[in-house]
Amino acid sequence: MSINTILFDLDGTLIDTNELIISSFLHTLNKFYPNKYQREDVLPFMGPTLYETFVSIDKERVQELIDTYREYNISHHDLLVKEFEGVFETVQWLKEQGYKLGIVTTKMSNVVMMGLKLTKLDQFFDVIVAIDHVTNPKPHPEPIEKALQQLDAKPEEALMVGDNHHDILGGKNAGTKTAGVAWSAKGREHIAQYEPDFILEKMSDLRDILGGMKV
């Protein structure tokens, strides 16, 4: 059976929000805990939800930290976000070939749309499942299962593409094939240790992979 559905994570996979995310964390943490956090300290925070990250830092001020992060993140969004090389052309090709396309992300839906519109990717996706659409974020299968349901797709016919272990484990938990991207901010080795079915060195690799996946 061939793959007919591709689900993508957004940040760090389709669009390069790495600098935006890192600077948002550093701004927030330096405001509340001056000079305590450096760039390398916030890399592990990329992938989990903001709640998961901030509750591990300060249970008493979680909402205050989240609000500060989101305010900075939105106000600096268009200045710091750009698409990864080859993403637009590859997603456009997938759409032209008739693949069902969806976004599954731990981001809020309003900021998801900002990123998609900025990079003109919004025209290609039939379904978006954001953090505010689910009870349980990735790696729980709920968001991926919800996207598959909305796309009328079966897990065995789907591929989940992402830059973080949450994406790979989420895909495995939902029963899809998985692809990790080598341009993950945490490095190729990080994503490889979770044993995705494929690792993309560049987004256009999807074309070759999908061509060879028909059984």
Whether the pLDDT of residue 1 is over 60: the answer is no
Pairing between strand 198-200 and 177-181?
parallel
Q: Residue 141: is the preceding peptide bond cis (ω within 30°)? A: no
CB 57 within 8 A of CB 5: no
User: What pLDDT is attached to residue 211?
Assistant: 83
Fold that domain 18-80 belongs to in CATH? DNA polymerase; domain 1 (1.10.150)
User: What pLDDT is attached to residue 184?
Assistant: 86
User: What pLDDT is attached to residue 100?
Assistant: 97
Span 21-39, mean pLDDT? 95
Q: Is 41 a catalytic residue?
A: no
Catalytic-labelled residue, pool 9, 16, 163, 167:
9
214 band by pLDDT with thresholds 50, 70 and 90: very low
CA-to-CA distance for 133 and 106, rounded, in angstroms? 10
Range in 1-5, 61-65, 87-91, 151-155 the model is least confident about: 1-5
46 band by pLDDT with thresholds 50, 70 and 90: confident
15 band by pLDDT with thresholds 50, 70 and 90: very high
Of 122, 103, 86, 142, residue with least CA distance to 6:
103
- Tens of pLDDT along 100-131? 999 999 999 999 999 999 999 999 999 999 99
User: What pLDDT is attached to residue 215?
Assistant: 35
| 181, containing H or E segment | strand 177-181
Whether the pLDDT of residue 2 is over 70: the answer is yes
Whether the pLDDT of residue 207 is over 70: the answer is yes
Say what percent of the chain tops pLDDT 70.
98
- Tens of pLDDT along 72-99? 999 999 999 998 999 999 999 999 999 9
| 150, containing H or E segment | helix 142-150
Chain-centre distance for alpha carbon 82:
14
Could you tell me the CA-to-CA distances from 93 to 29, 42, 63, 114 in Å, in that order? 41, 35, 41, 22
Q: What is the pTM assigned to this prediction?
A: 0.90
- Tens of pLDDT along 155-193? 999 999 999 999 999 999 999 999 999 998 888 999 999
Considering the four listed CATH numbers 3.40.50.300, 3.40.640.10, 3.40.50.1000, 3.40.50.2020, the one that applies to the domain covering 5-16+82-211 is 3.40.50.1000
Whether the pLDDT of residue 153 is over 70: the answer is yes
DSSP characters over 8-72: E--BTTTEE-HHHHHHHHHHHHHHHSTT---HHHHGGGSSS-HHHHHHHH-GGGHHHHHHHHHHH
CA-to-CA distance for 48 and 50, rounded, in angstroms? 7
Domain boundaries, the chain: 5-16+82-211, 18-80
Burial of 8 (0-12, 13-18, 19+ CB in 10 A): buried
